[in-house]
Structure 1
Amino acid sequence: MKFAFLIMGKFNSETDKAAIHNGVSQLIGVADIEDACRTARNLYENGIDCIELCGAFGAEGARKIIEATENKIPVGYVTHLPEQEEVYQAAFPQK
């Protein structure tokens, strides 16, 4: 199974990426949801079997990636337990 993890932030998806095990697992930084959709579509078209997303995507961002990949591969996103909400809000304040 080929796997990709997308992280969203101040990244350039063309250069901010890494792969291990001959590309079986990839980490790619994307700038925004539009960049993420393009990247996910490209990954899907090139044989990625599963995409995971950082928590910045949330449920709505995950839905957009699912749409970009035609709901043909599993797409998940990172979340956290409710008891850590205060810690997360301190680390990732809303814009």
Structure 2
Amino acid sequence: MKKKFAFLLMGAHYDPQQHSARFETEKQVTYIYTVKDPQEAYAKVAELKEAGVGAIELCGAFGEGMARRIIDMTEGKIAVGFVVHLPEQDEIFARFFQK
């Protein structure tokens, strides 16, 4: 049985029906999903749990609080990580993601 891994990107500018990808190798299936907001993310995580995904990586927009909530949602049975950057990069990230 192949391992299943998912990466979630969150942003209001995404169209989850259109913006997704799937990659499959002999050992793993990797999914990239987009969600518009935390509520969509929590619904997607519930789907991923039911589908047998074993690891979920979250984009930096989720932060530690939402990552912890997702860990709780998955009862600690799915590996959950989230992207962070080094503090010295804060200003660069702020400029890039400013509205």
Could you tell me the TM-score, scaled by structure 2's length? 0.85
Residue in 1 that maps onto 2:7: 5
Residue in 2 that maps onto 1:44: 49
TM-align CA RMSD: 1.7
SS of match in other structure, 1:71: coil
2:84 to 70, 79, 85: 79
What one-letter code is carried by the residue in structure 2 that aligns with 1:12? D
Alignment identity in percent?
A: 45
1:24 maps to 2:29: yes
1:68 to 73, 85, 97: 73
Partners of 1:13 and 1:39 within 8 A in 2: no
* Higher alpha-carbon Rg: 2
Q: Mind listing any 5+ residue stretches in structure 1 that lack a counterpart?
A: none
Runs of 4+ in 1 over 2 A off after TM superposition: 10-16
Count of equivalent residues: 94
Aligned-residue offset at 1:78: 0.2
Aligned-residue offset at 1:68: 2.2
SS of match in other structure, 1:62: helix
Residue in 1 that maps onto 2:93: 88
Could you tell me the TM-score, scaled by structure 1's length? 0.88
Name the one with the larger strand percent. 2
- Tell me: CA distance 1:62–1:46, structure 2 relative to 1, closer, same or farther (3 Å): same
What one-letter code is carried by the residue in structure 2 that aligns with 1:3? F
Q: Mind listing any 5+ residue stretches in structure 2 that lack a counterpart?
A: none
